[in-house]
Structure 1
Amino acid sequence: MRHSITTAARRTQIVRAAIDTIAELGYDKASYARITERAGLSSPRLISYHFTNKDDLIRQILVDIYTTAAQMLTERIEREDTAAGRLLAYLEANVEFLREYPREVVVLTAIGPHLRDDTGKPYTSASAQEPDVQALEALLREGQRASEFRDFDTRSMSIMIRGAITAAVQRLHHEHGLDLDTYQQELVTTFALATRATHDAPPAE
């Protein structure tokens, strides 16, 4: 048991150091030597002991970041009793992740162009977002069945929602910056108005 705990702690230490290194230096310059230095390890061989190669380490980084994001979204969404509430919670939580985990967002952006599928083809943003788009479609259809949302094409709306979140990611570290608080407010308002079933005012935040 002690060995398992120690191994898990060391893997976490390496993953954290790799995230910090990639965020600061970029994917290509994040060598084992740099990660070793960042983690305070005595030798790069300690990384090789815990991870087969850099691809294996990158996969674990992705697992850790996506797990953190999923937990944040799930916790927020599950508090809501309506589809409309869950949609707004989804939008808010996505922006909150950008605010609370900016280095992880930088790392995801840096890693993205280097990812390959099982056939060796590069992942595209569309293919990476497809599971999320489909989950949004299901949520929107649920809201339509409950008469919470108006009649609209759920796939088109889901793609637009994901596009709005992706736009925030792209602007997060842009030279002109992005006020995430304002963006979150406008994002929620925009899609509350776009999906609501009536012409009544959207629910107050």
Structure 2
Amino acid sequence: MAPPRILLLAGSTAPASPASRLTAAFAREIAFLDGEATLIALADYPLPQFDADRAETSLPGAVQKLRGLLRGHSAVFLATPSLAGGMPALLRNALEWLRPLGGRPRGEAAPLFALAAASDDDISAAAALADLERIIARGFGATLVGGGLAVGQASLAFDAQGRLDDPNLAAALQALARELVHASRRLAPEI
């Protein structure tokens, strides 16, 4: 059986942001579990502001590329920073472009997502995670795997190698990666 392909995306364009570091740490866990991690950056896919009236008539090239990436992977990991207790507009805009307009086609399997949020306080991380969960569950009709991970004090949460310092958070990240890889393997079509 081929390794599950997991698409990873941080909701920040800054490579050193806590959300980006959390995504990189998750990529290492996927590789350790013999999964194939594809780490992409929103900065590489500039998107105009979403307009539902125009979205049905023409899709920007970056949206077409991102949708192709989504379809080509077994599952997705998203990590969002917190901005005013929710996800930032940059990520929200990208998700608006990527969600299936009119819902998921009948008979198409629900996509698998694992989610995380990073903030400098626990309450904001939990609020951003809840915001992301709502959008992914409703807007994408996705199956959420692992219950999500909220990382507070995120700017201080990583060691020099980019690993989570707190053993409980590190274990939670490992468990989330295991659950996503397991679900991807379990739901993969037999070839």
Q: Give the structure with higher Rg (CA).
A: 1
Structure showing the higher strand proportion among its residues: 2
Structure showing the higher helix proportion among its residues: 1
Same fold (TM over 0.5): no
TM-score by length of 2: 0.28
TM-score by length of 1: 0.27
> Higher relative contact order at CA 8 Å, sep ≥6: structure 1 or structure 2?
2
